[in-house]
Amino acid sequence: MGPVLVEEMIAGSTDLANPVLFKEHRALSAGPRGDTDIDYPKMSARELNVSYGGKAALHDVALDIPRNKVTALIGPSGCGKSTFIRCLNRMNDIIDNCRIEGVVDLDGENIYAQDRDVVQLRTRIGMVFQKPNPFPKSIFENVAYGPKIHGMARDREELNGIVLGSLERAGLLDEVRDRLDAPGISLSGGQQQRLCIARAIAVRPEVILMDEPCSALDPIATERIEELIMELKAQYTIIIVTHSMHQARRLSDKTGFFHMGRLVEHGDTEEVFENPRDDRTRDYVTGRTG
Amino acid sequence: MNNTADTSDDLANDLATDLPGITTRIEARLAARHRAEKRFRLLSILAVWVGLAFLGVLFVIIVHSGADAFRQTKVLVDVRLEPKDFGAPGTVDRETLGRANYQGLMKRSLREAFPQVTSRKDRKGLYRLVSSGAAFELREKVLQAPELIGQTISIWVTASDDVDMIVKGVVPRKARVDHRRLGDNQMGWLEDLESAGRVELGFNWAFFTAGDSREPELAGIAAAVIGSLYSVLVCLAIAFPLGVMSALYLESFAPRNRWTDFIEVNINNLAAVPSIVFGLLGLAIFLNVLHLPRSAPLVGGMVLALMTMPTIVIAARVAIKGVPPSVREAALAVGASPVQAVFHHVLPLAMPGILTGTIIGTARALGETAPLLMIGMVAFVVDIPTSALDPATALPVQVFLWSDIPERAFAERTSAAILVLLGFVCLMNLTAVLLRKKFEIRW
């Protein structure tokens, strides 16, 4: 596949690949769009309690996620930040003995409501996991799977457009454009993670959840992903769980600090790192514990 | 920081003073550990070789006693086909041709070959050199080429099993008269035929094309093989979908509670139930309640399916469990429904394991005798079944039946049938390996 051809495909990939039109499309479905105002959070959790087989993992968590910002969740291992992020797209549903109480709103509607369609919900909220987990299929098929099952493309050409556009936005296209048929597993760890990001954005989500996306990557690959997150922030609401305080500081606008299943402190990243109100937060962000 | 350094120094000093000669102690122990390692490896290699040796001995014995059954002695007989033997001259319709007295023709030809044999008793002995099937072979030949009538033809016919045993050397020629089934005069006629070049050992086609027979030289495994094939196909068609669906449901969708635990325990129990119990179940339910046909491969396959299903469920559950949960999560995260996640991603990855388990379960079903005895697949079946509803027997049951017959010729046929059964099982295991290779996705 020659480079010229690929450019043409992206150019011809309809309005879905056009960021401006795409934003408007989201605005329609997302209800009132507050600027960066936390009064209109993209997602918000209230009185969220989670337990695994009777063992409590989250206590009474309340947190607002602002639109088109990066929210970082930090805290020591086992503090509940991964549990929290997995509640946001109901990924915890597949864990048998997991009990979830409370409310999580997406654009003001409870995602745990009785009649909520989980499949549709997960289309709106994409997820990138800690360990890169591409399907054991080709690079193309990895990205095309989501659009295919949702019937997003009318024909092969449109599908090509979506796949190439997604790879482009995930910053991977230049590296893989001449081997789209190669297995996704054959890529390096960092490339695999970007492939997973491409796969997530291929179904046009509004929110992307990232559960320690760089913990299995080397510093250079990490830097690539961080750059990518900064770019994606313009179009998506991003929530990232991270162990690296530096990463949280570099990337995020808002930060939440979890400790032993409680959201101890949250606010502007600057504020949380410079002037933490809680002692536990101060100890953690200054490297004294954790 | 200083504090911790001090503690570790203290600890080292403590060890040196508290446990003098600790290094030598560790070294002495190390030598013993190395010896244990070596001993274990030797024993393991020995175990492998003992297993292989038993397998080798078994195989050599079966091949040794069964190989002869693949060859069969034939006798060349000159037959005068006179038109008067075939009804009115000029009539060539098959029905009249088929009704001619071929038994008589065969006897006349033998009498003419040995004119010196005159007494009734001796003649009977002479006729017994060829198989009772020889007349049918002559009939086949004539029906195929009616234009031969009027000529004298030479035809190779199957020798009787007694002659066969002598020619193959299974029964020694020098054996005492009461140790062989041919009398001295019969031995003489046989030697006459041999010196005239009229006795030959050829490939035993009948063994693969014929059904069962009371005459060993006419008995074959075709009916049993076809019966086995139908049974196994029915068994697969029932057990594979049921087993895989059960495993998928239990592993991917069912909530874990007391009920599913109960089901799991019982599936494991079911896999350990003696196979004859399934036969009894088949007899009680399929034959006595549902009134399905007796001795039919359909019922045999259903009984074998009951027996194979737990094996498939267990193998499939293990295979499904072995698929990394991250694949399922990845599919769910892009909005796949749970069923899509399972069928698009989990099942294809689990397929190699599922197929291996299925084929191993089916190979076991192929070798199963006991449950088939219960539902009447132990019949004496001469006709090759043409559907899963015809009376049939199965290969292992055929082995069981023949092993009960005292004639020497059946003994070698028993071993030969076992060889064929083993061949099928090997073929299935090979298929399992190849399928696994084909479906395996490298990570």
Closest CA to A118 of A104, A130, A128: A104
Considering just the CA atoms, what is the radius of gyration of chain A in Å?
19
Q: Any idea what DSSP says for residue B159?
A: B
Residues A103-129 have a mean pLDDT of 90
Whether A41 contacts A67, CB under 8 Å: yes
How far apart CA A131 and CA B53 sit, in angstroms, is 48
Residue of B nearest to A125 (CA): B333
Residue A26 has pLDDT above 50, yes or no: no
Which of B255, B329, B442 minimises the CB distance to A129?
B329
- Answer whether A145 sits within 8 Å of B334, measured CB to CB: yes
- Answer whether A126 sits within 8 Å of B334, measured CB to CB: yes
Output the six-digit token pair for A182.
């190669």
State the fold for domain A3-285.
Rossmann fold (3.40.50)
How far apart CA A59 and CA A48 sit, in angstroms, is 7
Q: Does B258 touch chain A (CB under 8 A)?
A: no
Partners of B441 on chain A (C-beta within 8 Å) are: 136
Partners of A197 on chain B (C-beta within 8 Å) are: none
Partners of B337 on chain A (C-beta within 8 Å) are: 119
Q: Does B324 touch chain A (CB under 8 A)?
A: yes
Q: What is the CATH number of domain B222-439?
A: 1.10.3720.10
How far apart CA A64 and CA A239 sit, in angstroms, is 11
In the numeric block, the tokens 């090979």 are attached to: B430
Q: Any idea what DSSP says for residue A80?
A: S
- Answer whether A136 sits within 8 Å of B329, measured CB to CB: no
User: In this predicted structure, what is the pLDDT of residue B23?
Assistant: 82
Q: Which amino acid is at B417?
A: A
Each of the 443 residues of chain B gets a pLDDT tens digit; together they read 444 445 556 666 666 667 777 888 888 889 889 999 999 999 999 999 999 999 999 999 999 988 888 989 999 999 888 887 777 666 667 777 888 888 888 999 998 888 888 888 888 888 888 898 888 988 888 888 888 888 888 889 999 888 888 888 888 888 777 777 888 888 888 888 889 888 888 898 889 988 888 888 889 999 999 999 999 999 999 999 999 999 999 998 888 889 989 999 999 999 889 999 999 999 999 999 999 988 899 999 999 999 999 999 999 999 999 999 899 999 999 989 999 999 999 999 999 899 989 998 999 999 988 999 888 888 888 888 888 888 889 999 999 999 998 888 899 999 999 999 999 999 988 988 888 888 776 54
Whether B296 contacts B391, CB under 8 Å: yes
pLDDT digits 0-9 by tens, A33-78: 333 346 678 898 888 999 988 888 999 999 999 988 999 999 988 8
Instruction: Measure Cα distances from B426 to A37, B358, B366, B422 in Å.
Output: 71, 15, 11, 6
Closest CA to A198 of A130, A251, A145, A151: A145
Which of A92, A137, A149 is the mutation pick for testing B, counting most B CBs within 10 A? A149
- Answer whether A122 sits within 8 Å of B335, measured CB to CB: yes
Residue of A nearest to B442 (CA): A136
User: In this predicted structure, what is the pLDDT of residue B13?
Assistant: 62
Which of B324, B326, B334 minimises the CB distance to A146?
B334
Partners of A126 on chain B (C-beta within 8 Å) are: 333-334
Considering just the CA atoms, what is the radius of gyration of chain B in Å?
33
Which of A119, A134, A136 minimises the CB distance to B335?
A119
Partners of A239 on chain B (C-beta within 8 Å) are: none
Partners of B443 on chain A (C-beta within 8 Å) are: 136, 185
Output the six-digit token pair for A236.
């998506």
Which of B331, B335, B345 minimises the CB distance to A150?
B335
User: In this predicted structure, what is the pLDDT of residue B1?
Assistant: 41
Which of A131, A135, A142 is the mutation pick for testing B, counting most B CBs within 10 A? A135
How far apart CA A28 and CA A22 sit, in angstroms, is 10
Which of A89, A97, A135 minimises the CB distance to B330?
A135
How far apart CA B302 and CA B298 sit, in angstroms, is 6
Interior CA angle at B80 toward B76 and B81, to 5°? 115
With an 8 Å Cβ cutoff, the interface of chain A facing chain B consists of 89, 91, 94, 96-97, 119-120, 122-123, 126-127, 129, 131, 133-136, 145-146, 149-150, 185, 196, 199-200, 202-203
- Answer whether A149 sits within 8 Å of B326, measured CB to CB: no
Interior CA angle at B293 toward B290 and B298, to 5°? 90
Q: Please tell me which residue, A13 or B313, carries the higher pLDDT value.
A: B313
Tell me the shortest Cα–Cα distance from A227 to chain B, in angstroms: 23
Residue of B nearest to A195 (CA): B330
How far apart CA A162 and CA A156 sit, in angstroms, is 10
Output the six-digit token pair for A128.
């990138």
Q: Is B387 exposed, middle or buried (0-12, 13-18, 19+ CB in 10 A)?
A: exposed
Whether A184 contacts A137, CB under 8 Å: yes
pLDDT digits 0-9 by tens, B350-406: 998 999 899 989 999 999 889 998 888 888 888 888 888 888 899 999 999 999 988
pLDDT digits 0-9 by tens, B414-430: 999 999 999 999 998 89
Tell me the shortest Cα–Cα distance from A102 to chain B, in angstroms: 22
Helix (H, G, I), strand (E, B) or coil at B180: coil
Closest CA to B313 of B367, B265, B255, B380: B265
Tell me the shortest Cα–Cα distance from B441 to chain A, in angstroms: 7
Query: Could you tell me which residues come within 8 angstroms of residue A201 by beta carbon, excluding any fewer than 6 positions away?
Result: A126, A166, A169, A170, A208, A232, A236
Partners of B256 on chain A (C-beta within 8 Å) are: 96-97
Which of B255, B324, B337 minimises the CB distance to A119?
B337
- Answer whether B327 sits within 8 Å of A96, measured CB to CB: no
Buried b / exposed e over A107-126, threshold 16 CB at 10 Å, is beeebbeeeeebeebbbbbb
The full DSSP string for B402-423 is HTT---HHHHHHHHHHHHHHHH
**Domain range list for chain A:** 3-285
Name the B residues in 7-26 with CB < 8 Å from any A CB. none
- Answer whether A91 sits within 8 Å of B332, measured CB to CB: yes
User: In this predicted structure, what is the pLDDT of residue A19?
Assistant: 40
Q: Any idea what DSSP says for residue B219?
A: -
Closest CA to B433 of B356, B361, B322: B356
Partners of B336 on chain A (C-beta within 8 Å) are: 119, 145-146, 149
Which of B256, B344, B442 minimises the CB distance to A96?
B256
In the numeric block, the tokens 């070294």 are attached to: B27
- Answer whether B333 sits within 8 Å of A126, measured CB to CB: yes
Confidence of residue A257 (pLDDT cuts 50, 70, 90): very high
Residue of B nearest to A184 (CA): B443
Tell me the shortest Cα–Cα distance from A135 to chain B, in angstroms: 6
**Domain range list for chain B:** 73-204, 222-439
Q: What is the dihedral of CA B408, B412, B415, B421, to 10 degrees?
A: -120
Whether B160 contacts B130, CB under 8 Å: yes
Partners of A150 on chain B (C-beta within 8 Å) are: 335
Model ipTM?
A: 0.81
Whether A252 contacts A245, CB under 8 Å: no
* A-B C-beta contacts closer than 8 Å: 68
Partners of A135 on chain B (C-beta within 8 Å) are: 327, 330-331, 345
Helix (H, G, I), strand (E, B) or coil at A254: strand
Name the pairing type of β-strands B71-80 and A262-268: unpaired
In the numeric block, the tokens 């000093």 are attached to: B13
Q: Please tell me which residue, B14 or A232, carries the higher pLDDT value.
A: A232
Buried b / exposed e over A48-85, threshold 16 CB at 10 Å, is bebbeeeeebbeebebbbbbbbbbbbbbeeebbbbbbb
Residues A152-181 have a mean pLDDT of 91
User: In this predicted structure, what is the pLDDT of residue A14?
Assistant: 39
How far apart CA B272 and CA B388 sit, in angstroms, is 28
Whether A184 contacts A135, CB under 8 Å: yes
Run of H or E residues at A102: strand A98-106
Whether A36 contacts A254, CB under 8 Å: no
How far apart CA B384 and CA B398 sit, in angstroms, is 13
How far apart CA B293 and CA B144 sit, in angstroms, is 37
Output the six-digit token pair for B285.
């339910």
Residue A6 has pLDDT above 50, yes or no: no
Which of A82, A87, A91, A94 is the mutation pick for testing B, counting most B CBs within 10 A? A94
